[in-house]
Amino acid sequence: MKIFVSIGDPNGIGLEIALRSHSGVKDWGEIIYGVDERVLFEASQRLGIEVPQDMECDPLGLESPIAPGVISKEAGRYSFESFKKGVERAKKGEVQAIVTLPVHKKAWSLAGIPYAGHTEALREMMGEEAIMMMGKEGFFIALYTDHLPLSEVPQRVHERGVEGFLRRLSHALPAMKACGVLGLNPHAGDQGVLGKEEEGIKRAIERANQALGRELFFGPLVPDVAFIPSWRAKFDHYVAMYHDQGLIALKILYFEESINLSLGLPFVRTSVDHGTAFDIAYRGGNPSLLSYQNAIKMALKLGSDKR
């Protein structure tokens, strides 16, 4: 199986992760890196890591001198073009999965790239309502809204939208066993005293379950207790209404090992669940490789299921 790795922001931690991980992942599948050899060589020189001879590169034909920890439009453009090449190859069927290393949203903005992140770009490129989901085996959180200002979230939380989201999620994850759906408001609205959005969420859960012919979705759950151990034992998946509602708990519990997935696409896309780490990039910070390795493993698993 072929996996395309987009290398992320060259001024960040992505190239170090790719170089340090290659010997451990190269036998899992055919790994192709979206990077020019001269950029990879510069990173290796800065890090004191030899470029493996069997590291297969798909060059972009771009210049991006490495400036560790610097937000720049050149690095933003390079990381986007690496990602775009992976998408193009996946659309042609040349690779079965894309694994993305971290980009910097401000660098993308400086480069004139009109997306807040990979998932938003995939939605437009593919014309699909891709779902952002993060987690690890046995504990995944899908985000009903993702990179959206908190002030705009309540107007997006309504019965029709939530129902459609739940149906798409169940279609993308046929093996999902039980999914807890969080409410939006404190105490899940306290029967309308603290907000009315939960009424729509409840109806959406009922309609989605009815369409599925089984009880898959449960809630709306009270958000501040939804992730305590006794509740986590009931569900293998959750739906959070907004980004930080779900991801604070995830990153407290499983920061180093969790991954990011884009669901609802004709190909697999996984990612590390951390940022560019400009504070330690090229500074001997000895980054954890676990999230990247797990992203590769999940890409292989899901890619095999699609074949």
Phi, psi of 182 (to 5 degrees): -75, 150
For residues 61 and 183, what is the distance between their CA atoms, to the nearest angstrom? 48
Q: Which helix (H) or strand (E) holds 53?
A: none
- Whose CA is closest to 142, among 150, 131, 130, 153? 131
For residues 69 and 76, what is the distance between their CA atoms, to the nearest angstrom? 12
- Please answer whether residues 205 and 180 qualify as being in contact, where contact means their C-beta atoms are separated by less than 8 angstroms: no
For residues 176 and 272, what is the distance between their CA atoms, to the nearest angstrom? 22
Beta strands in 154-203 (DSSP E): 179-182
- Three-state DSSP at 84 gives helix
- Whose CA is closest to 9, among 83, 61, 87? 83
Secondary structure in 3-state letters for 107-140: HHHHCCCCCCCHHHHHHHHHCCCCEEEEEECCEE
**Known binder of ligand: residue 147?**
yes
**Known binder of ligand: residue 243?**
yes
Q: At residue 167, what is the residue type?
A: R
Q: At residue 232, what is the residue type?
A: R
Give the Cβ contact number of residue 240 at 10 Å. 27
Beta pairing class for 217-221 and 179-182: parallel
- Please answer whether residues 30 and 2 qualify as being in contact, where contact means their C-beta atoms are separated by less than 8 angstroms: yes
Q: At residue 111, what is the residue type?
A: A
**Known binder of ligand: residue 158?**
no
**Known binder of ligand: residue 11?**
no
Q: Annotated binding site for substrate, which residues?
A: 118-119, 251, 260, 269
Q: Annotated binding residues, as ranges? A: 118-119, 147, 187, 243, 251, 260, 269
Binding site for a divalent metal cation, by residue number, is: 147, 187, 243
